[in-house]
């Protein structure tokens, strides 16, 4: 039996340290922890798909909480059944002791686990719906107040066009152009890419 851990964080700003710590505390070797930085709306995630390929009968999959597995009710149920029934791999959800297929192997235990799983999967999907609704409301509110959303607009230096033409005509290097414009390379090339000359 090998213990695997799975972590999912929704975006690059979320910190996965809490999940990693919990999995290591549960006895998962860090080398066997797979992580995706992606939404839980579906299971089309590279590390999750890899995990399904490496899991073998008798292995144990440890996850911090059910919403880290996913946030789509039907898909969570389908994936749970695939892992536990088709692959014959046990799953242990650390935040919910009733969702531990290594325990309660009898009919009543399986029934209780399945019931709890369905309730929690439903709650996870509802939270995803609520998050999307709150985001949409926040965006609508910000727009109605005239706030700019997204990255701040790049301020193009007044002398950009002159410096750009000299650079384009190979009169100066890109490094000199950036120095004259007082721009970082990424900003310089973003302006070049987004402007038409």
**pLDDT tens-place string over residues 11-38:** 766 788 999 999 999 999 999 999 999 8
Higher pLDDT, 106 or 77: 77
**Which residues lie closer than 8 Å to 82 by C-beta, 6 or more apart?**
52
Ranges of each domain in the chain: 3-131, 160-194
- Angle, helices 185-194 vs 174-181, to 10°: value is 100
End-to-end CA distance of the chain: 62
Percent of the chain with pLDDT over 70: 87
- Region at 59 (left for phi over 0; alpha for psi -120 to 50; beta for the rest): beta
The residue ranges of DSSP E strands in the chain, in sequence order, are 3-9, 33-37, 60-63, 90-93
Higher pLDDT, 39 or 32: 32
Torsion of Cα atoms, 78 then 84 then 85 then 89, to 10°: 140
The pTM assigned to this predicted structure is 0.60
**pLDDT tens-place string over residues 107-134:** 655 666 677 767 767 776 777 777 778 8
- Per DSSP, the three-state class of 167 is helix
d(CA 143, CA 46): 35
Give the pLDDT score at 142: 79
Query: If you classify domain 3-131 with CATH, what class do you get?
Result: alpha beta
Burial 154-170 (b: 16+ CB within 10 A, else e): eeebeebeebbeebeee
Catalytic sites, residue numbers: 10
Cβ-contact 96, 114 below 8 angstroms: no
**Which residues lie closer than 8 Å to 170 by C-beta, 6 or more apart?**
none
């Amino acid at each position: 039996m090998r213990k695997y851990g799975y972590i999912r964080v929704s975006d690059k700003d979320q910190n996965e340290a809490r999940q990693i710590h919990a999995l290591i505390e549960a006895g998962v070797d860090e080398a066997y922890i797979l992580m995706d930085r992606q939404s839980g709306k579906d299971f089309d995630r590279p590390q999750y798909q890899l995990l399904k390929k490496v899991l073998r009968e008798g292995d144990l999959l440890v996850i911090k909480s059910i919403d880290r597995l996913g946030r789509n009710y039907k898909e969570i149920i389908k994936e749970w059944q695939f892992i536990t029934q088709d692959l014959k791999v046990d799953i242990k959800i650390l935040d919910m002791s009733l969702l531990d297929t290594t325990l309660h192997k009898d009919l009543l235990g399986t029934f209780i686990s399945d019931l709890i799983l369905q309730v929690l999967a439903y709650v996870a999907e509802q939270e995803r719906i609520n998050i999307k609704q709150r985001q949409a409301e926040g965006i609508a509110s910000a727009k109605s107040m005239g706030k700019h959303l997204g990255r701040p607009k790049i301020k193009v230096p007044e002398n950009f066009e002159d410096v750009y033409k000299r650079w384009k005509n190979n009169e100066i290097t890109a490094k000199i152009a950036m120095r004259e414009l007082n721009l970082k390379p990424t900003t310089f090339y973003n302006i070049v890419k987004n402007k038409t000359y």
